[in-house]
Structure 1
Amino acid sequence: MVGAPVSDRLVASWQRSEDYGVSLESIEPSFTGTLNDESLFFECGREVLEGLHRTLINEPVSLMLTDADGLVLNRMSGDTSLLRALDAVHLAPGFAYAERTVGTNGLGLAIADRAPTVVRADEHYALSLCTYTCAAVPVLDPLSGHLEGCVNLTTWSSQSSDLLLALAQSAASNTSAMMLARSRGQKPRAAQRGEVFRVETPRLEPGAGSATDLGPAWSEVLARAGAAIRDERIVLAVGEEGSGRATLLAQALRQQFPRERILAASPPPTQDCEAWLGLWTPELGKPDTGILVRDVDLLPEWVAEHVRDLVVQARVRAHAGDHVPFAMTASRFDALPPALAPLVDTIVSVPPLRERSDDVIPLARLAARRARGREVTFTHAAESALRDCGWPGNARQLVEVVAQAARRSDTIDVRHLPADVLSGISRRLTRIETFERDEIVRVLTRPGISMKDAGDELGMSRATVYRKIAQYDINIPRTNT
């Protein structure tokens, strides 16, 4: 559209496409051919798109799912001429349409920036794509927040595209909702709020008040992070969500710079990115200020580029002898936006809580004390159950479980712990199975209960109770205060 304003996101994408060396004339997307068609995302997304396809069967629109790398997983359309044309540019299952390989396009930009995107006609980088308009919306896992892929709708550029993005957003939203409904009824991940904490010593800061007398696995990683920060390196802490990555970096920063304040920032919703950058970036490079950015693998590509530029500029401006403490967390290094990867000098891997059994009880005691404002005791059985749990949600899950238990009793016993802590089963349970398991745990954790009494209350024989215990991998340590 002649004279239409060009967004900063689009300009940034064009620049990246040029930097990647994408041809302006023709594209050659890589063919993988290996599709993950067994994931929950694919199962739910296909079901949603099949329903939408039935309503658009006579429209010149192609509906498709891609994974987080832009690999096209499926495609459906009632317009055979459109399908033949898309085959000619390889926008088909098995081909990767990431920005890096084909330049600016709807699904590639949606994945890069983790934001709903429409790319029309000559807004595409490659001329061979200028006859199409694409609307794409990323789909995030409702529990982890990780990018699963995107929903992409493509039509001819001559067609009206006013409703295309709305349809893609509806399909993406329905896919995420269906994923949540089929995920054992777990609570969705809290929406990103982009919190920014500016903290002055000696007030609470990220990592303040957290347990420091932990086991050797934590202490070793903490020492490595501290040494790197002391040597003016940029540290990236990787590991599972909730394992304590940000806490570890905050402790390392505090050990090396005890009088500095620590500013911690979490990724914001896409629409708030500019305001988020404006809040904390003026602090970068100020004397006596350390910066910690969490979950940088969730940042849109253009925001990651701004962060990179700001860090580089701050280090250049720093006076001789000055240090610009900057650290980041992510799930893993290869999930980083390309712009941030070159900044990383040192990577430290924070072990999950299941590999740090020595840390469970100190963390539990700290969580209970915070919840009640005073010391709370644990029975031997409760301590054993906490240590034996696999903690798929890591320290964050432990803190939530113990805090809830501490609000119910001065002495935490196994009967105050949720059933999933006492059950080692990892497969997804149905609602009926979950109810049955929880009832068995509720009865068996009652003080003084015998197996015969438990069977009578549950309406089962003792043999059935034992079989159900094995089926759900229930382990209830004997109560002993």
Structure 2
Amino acid sequence: MSDKRLLLASARADLLDGNGAPECPGVPDHVAASWRRSLSHGVHPNSVDSPYFAELDFESRLVRCAQPEIDQLSEQISDMPMCVALTDGQARILLRRDSSQWIGKILDRVYFAKGFGYEEGAVGTNGVGTVLEFGQSVHIVGAEHFVDTLQSFACAGAPVRDPFSGRIEGVLDISCLSDHSTPIMHSLVRAAAKRIEHRLLLDRNEAQQALFEVYSRVDSRTRDAVVAVGPRCIVANTAMQTLLGSTDQEALLDHIRFMTPRHSTVDDKVDLPSGMQVRLRGSTVTVGEDIAGMIGVVTPIHDDVRLIPRRQCATAATSDLVAAEPPHQVASSSPAWRAAETIVRSALGADETVLVLGESGSGRFTLLAELVRLQRPGVRLHRIEARQVEKEPCEIGCLLAEADPQVDLYVLGDVDQLCGRTVNALTACLGERGSAPGLLGATANASERPDIDQGALFALFRQSATLPPLRYRTGDLMALVRFILHELAPHRELQVSHDATRVLGRYRWPGNIRELREVLASTVARRPVGVIQAEDLPAYCQSVSRSPLRQVDQIERDAIITAIRQASGNRKAAAAALGFSRSTLYRKIQLYGITD
């Protein structure tokens, strides 16, 4: 043991001096890799700097499921001066159970206590943070720790994984002084972690349980690809992983999420980004009035069906289009978008009126305008806003009835906002004239439920299509970003950094493509050339709040994000700059969903 300590100490000294060989001979591979990560994160080799988190959930589902196993494990080690600890998936300690009072006091001195964080990037190699980085159980003894003050300890840690997703939900750890270390610690902690995972499986909520049970039944009866998609979990069999690549899987999952709240069953032919076409047969799983998710069976289609040619688009010719919504001229990889596009294209080809549903800013009018330009060159397309129809319903009816469809076509915007009186007046006027040759279609918000019966108005349309919001088009996001940047700053070759891409991808885009354009316009004003960084994006893009914020809350949120950016991510410095305590800053970060 003394020879091993000497070897480890020598290798660590060489590494800190910059003289160490890349392979660190004699040092376990996972320990050497951890040392290098610790060094790159700037961990101080002589002291522990463990952050404290005031707003942790100490009564979480993980803690509840782990409690019986920790009680049993504590009894097994009660004759030795050891402790058992449980952390969350970010290495923050949720629970600690000591077998003796004095071991607890020693651990308190190195901040291995409830509420403190032990991620590798803060305190170096250890039995918690290194488990999260390594992805497997570890046993770190004595000089294998990166920080001097931890080298008197030994710790064995094992990951506790979510039984559905396989994601690490927490770490179970046994710690003691290095003189009391034994390989049995590693065996005990791994076995206990597995038992906690089993308890998590049994403790899943009613909706998850219903979804998983239906998935298991379907999977046992077929050799096809099967996937279960819920609000917080995705489960897929091996056939699914083998059938589709990552890009196709992402597009299909977005399609299933989009269809789940809208249809109880689906039987669709889905065109995927790779050019592959699959058949999706799915049905929702409900628990009471709540939708747990959708189970889908996916099979490839091997016929000669070809995808709609992806168009090479230019700027729309009409000023109405530019004024109404930002142009959407990127070939979409979203199956839901392409299905809607097919319906609209078919309606235009058959001279049928079409109702395009979707959230505001999702590109409803833009799609109509672009297809009109492609299929009916020379025809001018105009959008009539709901407020204009409210003022002059009869005049609008006359305009639609007398228009020459070879010259002018009209789209009624946001008809779900029309009141009952306006709807009656408009449809009565059109009914008296017998037809409305100038009416191409209308847009409506699919997420809204009108308070009035609009059946008489909807009867004017022969087909309908629903566009997915931007949050269900993750595969299209960066293509849209590149296109809009090219439009906003032609010939500048603006690029987007990895961190900025990550921020854009995590934001939910409640305003859809219109909001994306506004964000990029303000960003280009800050960074007119070069590479766009995360700090160039508006502050609210780094916030995913669970509820609408008041204006005063938005101002405070933006101030917090700005302070964190100016402090280069140092939250202690940011709290000082804002005049907050650290606990207040952490609480507000959680409240506003700040992801910086």
Q: TM-score, normalised by structure 1?
A: 0.49
Task: Report which structure shows greater RCO (CA 8 Å, sep ≥6).
Answer: 1
Which structure has the larger Rg? 2
